[in-house]
Amino acid sequence: MYQPKMNRSDSPQSDSRSVVIVGPGAMGCLHAGLLGRMPHLDVVLLDYRANRAELINEQGVIIEAPADTYTVPVPCTANAQELSTADLVIIFTKVYDTAAAAEHCAPVVGPATAVLTLQNGLGNYQILQQNLPAEQVLAGTTSSGATLLSVGQVRQAGLGQIVLGSPTGNKALADSTAELLKSAGLEVELTADVDALLWSKMLINCAINPLTALTRQRNGELLEIAALRDLAGQVAEEVYRVGQAVGIDWGEFDPRRAVEEVCRATAANQSSMLQDILAGRRTEVEYITGAVVQAAERHRAAAPLCQCLTALVEGLTDAERKE
């Protein structure tokens, strides 16, 4: 059973680092399991539902990897007051829960705590900065994929790279966070342009998530159907143009190639939006293609494909809920 962590000054393992992962969804559980295997890391999952937290606390996190299935005894709690100050907090909640997540994890955020968002969509780090010390907020992306099978149980669809940076230029905090994640065997890179990074992830999500949700296809299957492959490319190019209007420096980024590379790397994965549709949950479409539409309107650009996909996914969600 879960036992509250001792204060850092009382712990005999003074060289251990503490990580709190907020949100026990597919990506939260995957990373809790990956980090929780490391003896030098004290990893805890923070949930908002006490009954679900109790179940995960009892059974641990179960990961179905390509080679085998293993269980990691990751503690889970719904009460952040039980925990001592963390070295790193990673936010994996849905975009629409970001403000609530910031409030929920506030008790574990001390003066030196890094708060890293690896969520989908735009606006997450700004919401965290409004609720927590701005200079301690980091933003990043991960190309790993996972499917939530049941409470605390995920299927690993591929391990990718984490790229992170500091929106306020706190390079020392970004460096130390990258080193902590690397110590767990994760591939990590740093970026000085967080907004370009987030837009690149947004572009990929816009091209993959709505199409997989609407067609019930896995990521890799988008490339097997010529019409869907071309449509995904058109969406990517549209988001690229809106990003240009916003002022994003894309460098040598190739939108179609980037989407196809992710589809191949996560071929067996069900996108998070498809998982939400299948489970009858609210999707994040308004913060993905919907956010592109809003950005296009602000900067006098056009985003008809994103507007169409947003309406279709919202309509599908409403239809699913009425059944």
Q: 173: closest CA among 198, 194, 190? A: 190
Contact by Cβ (8 Å): 117, 39: no
Q: How large is the average pLDDT for residues 166-177?
A: 98
pLDDT at 320: 61
Q: Would you place residue 321 in the very low, low, confident or very high pLDDT band (cuts 50, 70, 90)?
A: low
Contact by Cβ (8 Å): 102, 123: no
pLDDT in tens, 91-146: 999 999 999 999 999 999 999 999 999 999 999 999 999 999 999 999 999 988 88
Whether residue 234 has pLDDT greater than 70: yes
Distance CA 149, CA 135 (A): 36
pLDDT in tens, 290-301: 999 999 999 999
Q: Which residues, 6 or more positions from 151, have their beta carbon under 8 angstroms from its beta carbon?
A: 24, 52, 55, 56
Out of 63-77, 80-94, 181-195, 260-274, least confident range: 260-274
Whether residue 8 has pLDDT greater than 70: no
DSSP assigned state of 85: P
pLDDT at 9: 36
Q: Any idea which residues carry the catalytic annotation?
A: 201
- What number of CA atoms fall less than 13 Å from residue 292's CA on the CB side? 35
pLDDT at 1: 39
Backbone angles phi, psi at 138, to 5 degrees: -115, 155
What's the order of all strands across the beta sheet hosting 69-72? 69-72, 61-64, 153-158, 145-150
Are domains 8-192 and 196-322 of this chain identical in fold? no
Average pLDDT, the chain: 93
196-322 is classed CATH 1.10.760.10: no
Q: 88: closest CA among 174, 15, 13, 177? A: 177
Which tokens belong to 24? 């026990």
Total number of residues shown for the chain: 323
Contact by Cβ (8 Å): 99, 41: no
Backbone angles phi, psi at 20, to 5 degrees: -110, 125
pLDDT at 244: 97
Q: How large is the average pLDDT for residues 188-203?
A: 97
pLDDT at 40: 96
Q: Would you place residue 174 in the very low, low, confident or very high pLDDT band (cuts 50, 70, 90)?
A: very high
Q: Would you place residue 160 in the very low, low, confident or very high pLDDT band (cuts 50, 70, 90)?
A: confident
Q: 201: closest CA among 267, 153, 296, 271? A: 271
Q: How large is the average pLDDT for residues 182-189?
A: 96
Q: How large is the average pLDDT for residues 169-187?
A: 97
8-192 is classed CATH 3.40.50.720: yes
pLDDT at 3: 46
Whether residue 12 has pLDDT greater than 50: no
Distance CA 164, CA 162 (A): 6
Q: Which residues, 6 or more positions from 101, have their beta carbon under 8 angstroms from its beta carbon?
A: 22, 23, 91, 93
Long-range contacts of 2-10 (CB under 8 A, 24+ apart): 2/57, 2/75, 2/76, 2/77, 3/75, 4/77, 4/82, 4/83, 4/84, 5/42, 5/44, 5/82, 5/83, 5/84, 6/84, 7/84, 8/84, 8/85
Q: How large is the average pLDDT for residues 167-184?
A: 97
Q: How far is CA 248 from CA 3, 77, 142, 286, in A?
A: 46, 39, 20, 21
pLDDT in tens, 58-88: 999 999 998 999 999 999 999 999 999 999 9
What residue spans define the domains of the chain? Answer: 8-192, 196-322
pLDDT at 319: 60
Rg value, the chain, Cα = 19
